[in-house]
Chains A and B, each alone.
Chain A
Amino acid sequence: MTETLKNTGFEEMTLNMGPQHPSTHGVLHLLLKMDGEVITEARPDIGYLHRGMEKLAEKRTWGANIALSDRWDYIASMSNNFAAVLGPEKLMNIAVPKRAEYIRIIMAELNRIASHLIFFGTYGIDIGAFTPFFYAFREREMILDLYESVCGARLTYNYFRIGGVSADLPEEFVPGVKAFIKYFRPKLKEYDTLLSTNPIFMDRTVGVGAISKEEAVDWALSGPNIRASGISFDIRKEDPYSVYSEFDFNIPTGKNGDCWDRYMVRMNEMSESARIIEQALEKLEPGDIMAKVAKVIRPPAGEIYTHVEAPKGELGVYCISDGSTMPYRYKVRGPSFVNLAILQKMLRGLKIADVVAVLGSIDIVLGEVDR
């Protein structure tokens, strides 16, 4: 801010962005201090969607907590389910049947595609391209139809159970997934034409909001955000849970960590997920879908931290059991919450027009930020 401006009364302006702004992906409130068009300070203000999930969890049985976990990141509920079941399963030493493991992985990876499709669609809108949104949601709808045929819900699946999954796949599911993958592959190329290589889109995203490797580690980013900065960190490879170690897949990484890299990492991840699904479908064999578990679940006293690679990053659950039917403490490490923190650093010095581009590129879901 120059002295002249200060003297003439043009001082820093505080701008409230949100919580009802269409591009804040929910109810995020950004407090921006601006010097003309340039942002000098940005502070995300969260909590508008706070439901006290962690406290609620302490008064719910372990099984009911899976139903609650659907509501953390409501566009990737299968991954939440995954995180919610791993902890008690490890505490109780339950060996999940092979078929259930593969079903879980198919579900989680389909959910990754669905979540990234939402990102692709809404990011297009944020930047100003409306068309991708329709195509992304058309494809996502197919995934939701598949989910509906399996578990009877389109958003809050509540499909995983401690020891397996709640229902076996219906007959039409496997051909349905195969048809979807076949249909989906060429669509990715179409998306590239529509958005990824569009020069207008690239002008607005390449070089904007770059995160260096060190910064990404310092701010504990995870998921596509850290991979875009060139660090190949993926829990499916680093600390394989379930049967992920059996699958052959690559981890797409970016170079500069700018908005375009973050976008591209997600686009590439979709085809990798499709590869995992294809492999899992091949390995799928008839068998049990539930391990033998007692009706009333009482994990032995102890504490455990389990994490999964959710579409947004590392989703971890730290739970303490006191041997009763309900968890003593249930801490959720939401990737969106952690990834959101770097916004205050990234936005400083950018123009107001780039706020939406940067915010969209870190792909947050407010249900998980506030919990």
Chain B
Amino acid sequence: MNRAAPYLGPMVSTTGYRDLIEEAGDMARFTGRFFREVLRPRYEWEELLRQAFINGYRSLPLVAVTAFIMGLVLTVQSRPTLERFGAESMLPAMVAISVVREIGPVITALICAGKIGSSMGAELGSMKVTEQIDAMEVSGTNPFKYLVVTRVVSTTLMVPVLVVLADAIAIWASYIGVNFKDTVSWPLFHQQVFDSLIFSDLLPAFFKSFFFGFAIGIVGCYKGFHTERGTEGVGRASHSAVVVASLMIFMLDLVAVQITDILGLN
């Protein structure tokens, strides 16, 4: 690692490529360790539940508000274009499809990357620099299991749940948006939405949100666990956890769209 690299770390440093590859290798090793440890017994159920509560339930208000606004704005802004083609009756379907397939998962994941990723980076980072992680290790608790495995499993499971809730809230907000100008009853709206959505809209989107959750957890924990250089390092860990997790989300999204394309699920 180039210790003098600016705080965006591998992304923009001058010796960028080597750092980037080194860091990717480290992260791959870290991920490998996760898979080895996640199955080995002595499961930290209590801590897992606590993390699921923190990462899932506590993120809900932020995700809900964003999803509501997203659904509403998308509806209001799409209307003029659809009207121009005389297709305003397609509005619910269009919003539903774009929310469920793309916007819901990606926006929710990005919010989680910002909220959960940064707090994980900062929390584990400060535990690392104040030797709290070492203290766990010497007291006979495997800190990787206790801190990393529980956090990664919790985000992997909770982000998809948040995505589903965000989708539902966005669609409900869209119903309100549609009714700004039209009057569409909820049953009719409901029917239009669900007629337009097919299984292959839901499944890949749901599936990829697991990967988003996993990426957020792994990146946040990796950055926290590898914090160096005191409190300055903690800020850097928190910051780069968000940057790297957000980038990973977009890259995974890109991969996911290719895969669904190849599998003919589009």
Tell whether A and B belong to one assembly.
Answer: no
A interface residue numbers (CB < 8 A to B):
none
Chain B positions near chain A (C-beta within 8 angstroms)? none
